[in-house]
Amino acid sequence: MGSLVVVARGLSKRFGGVQAVREADLEVAEGELVLLLGRSGAGKSTLLSLIGGLDRPDAGTVTVAGQEVPALRGADLDRFLQKTVGWVFQTSGLLPLLTAAENVSLALRLMGKPEGPAMQAALTALDSVGLAARAQHRGNELSGGEQQRVAVARALIKAPHLLLADEPTAQLDTETARSIMALLREAADSGTAILFATHDESATEVADRVVRMEDGVLSASVGSR
Ligand SMILES: Nc1ncnc2c1ncn2[C@@H]1O[C@H](COP(=O)(O)OP(=O)(O)OP(=O)(O)O)[C@@H](O)[C@H]1O
Ligand SMILES: [Mg+2]
């Protein structure tokens, strides 16, 4: 196992009367796919937000690739969000009027990469998710499963240290969901640390380790692969 990318200790977050995350300890290593399994409302998205820098904990610490996430501000936080972490959500969030290739290359353009090389890299990334033939289709001309593949390519093209996947398969049929899970597995095998939140037990098949979450509390469970 590679070095630790995520180290969270005692992370807690409360919303009004709801303790969404309670003293969570979690580690994810380079090349490791950790599955965060829990029912709706368990606190999965909240925990991912704390780790991915979209929200700040009430208590506890978390580092991602050596950076103390809650302490990041301004340009440092922007850089962290752009480069260090990649996200895939339940819906792809593609821009419907841009092509698949444009959607993917945009991630690099935002990081300052010139147009030509960004587009070249986007085409390679789309090929790696099996979508070379769809590169010039617009976002709104792709099926839900294809859109999620583009979203995975868009997240991975930045070569993030950590990929956070929040129910990326929730809106897909079983077979398409499996293909997205296989893509996440491949990304982990090439060295990306992945935290994959879902309520789908079948995802344990691609996980190195499963962590269960209930009412904001994490509990380790046996690895499945
Ligand atoms: N911004 C917020 N304001 C108030 N309450 C919130 C907020 N975000 C989450 N919560 C509450 O925190 C709890 C955990 O929510 P969270 O979205 O993390 O769960 P989840 O496990 O991701 O659920 P799902 O599987 O439905 O996505 C829920 O009770 C939710 O209502
Ligand atoms: Mg959620």
Q: What's the total number of domains in the chain?
A: 1
Tokens of 178: 């499996």
Residue 124 lies in a domain: no
Instruction: Judge if the beta carbon of residue 43 lies within 6 A of ligand 1.
Output: yes
Residue 104 lies in a domain: no
CA of 18 to the centre of ligand 2 (A): 15
* pLDDT, position 1: 60
The residue whose CA is least distant from atom 8 of ligand 1 is 46
Q: How many CA atoms lie within 13 A of 225 on its CB side?
A: 14
Instruction: Judge if the beta carbon of residue 216 lies within 6 A of ligand 1.
Output: no
Tokens of 95: 């821009």
Judged by average pLDDT, the poorest of 36-45, 55-64, 170-179, 196-205 is 170-179
Angstrom distance (rounded) from CA 78 to CA 203: 31
Place 75 in a pLDDT band, splitting at 50, 70 and 90. Answer: very high
Angstrom distance (rounded) from CA 194 to CA 26: 12
DSSP string computed for 93-107: ---TTSBHHHHHHHH
Residue 188 lies in a domain: yes
Sign of CA dihedral 99, 96, 45, 196: negative
pTM (2 decimals)?
A: 0.95
Q: pLDDT above 90 covers what percent of the chain?
A: 95
Residue 112 lies in a domain: no
Angstrom distance (rounded) from CA 197 to CA 35: 6
Mutate to test the pocket of ligand 1, among 13, 14, 15, 89 (most ligand atoms within 8 A of CB): 15
> Contact, 168 vs 199, CB < 8 A?
no
CA of 198 to the centre of ligand 2 (A): 8
The residue whose CA is least distant from atom 18 of ligand 1 is 43
Host domain of residue 164: 4-91+159-221
Residue 135 lies in a domain: no
Phi, psi angle pair for 163, to nearest 5°: -110, 125
Instruction: Judge if the beta carbon of residue 40 lies within 6 A of ligand 1.
Output: yes
Tokens of 167: 């129910």
Mutate to test the pocket of ligand 1, among 18, 47, 198 (most ligand atoms within 8 A of CB): 18
Instruction: Judge if the beta carbon of residue 38 lies within 6 A of ligand 1.
Output: yes
Residue 115 lies in a domain: no
Residue 99 lies in a domain: no
> Contact, 191 vs 157, CB < 8 A?
no
Q: Across residues 56-64, what is the average pLDDT?
A: 98
The domain that holds 204 is classified in CATH as: 3.40.50.300
Angstrom distance (rounded) from CA 180 to CA 15: 32
Instruction: Judge if the beta carbon of residue 17 lies within 6 A of ligand 1.
Output: no
Residues 6+ apart with CB under 8 A from 79: none
Residue 190 lies in a domain: yes
Tokens of 162: 């950590």
> Contact, 163 vs 156, CB < 8 A?
yes
Residues 196-212: tens digit of each pLDDT:
999 999 999 999 999 99
Angstrom distance (rounded) from CA 82 to CA 79: 5
> Contact, 195 vs 38, CB < 8 A?
no
Residues 123-177: tens digit of each pLDDT:
999 999 999 999 999 999 999 999 999 999 999 999 999 999 999 999 899 999 9
Q: Provide the strand spans (E) within the chain.
A: 4-15, 18-29, 33-37, 59-64, 67-68, 85-88, 162-166, 193-198, 209-214, 217-221
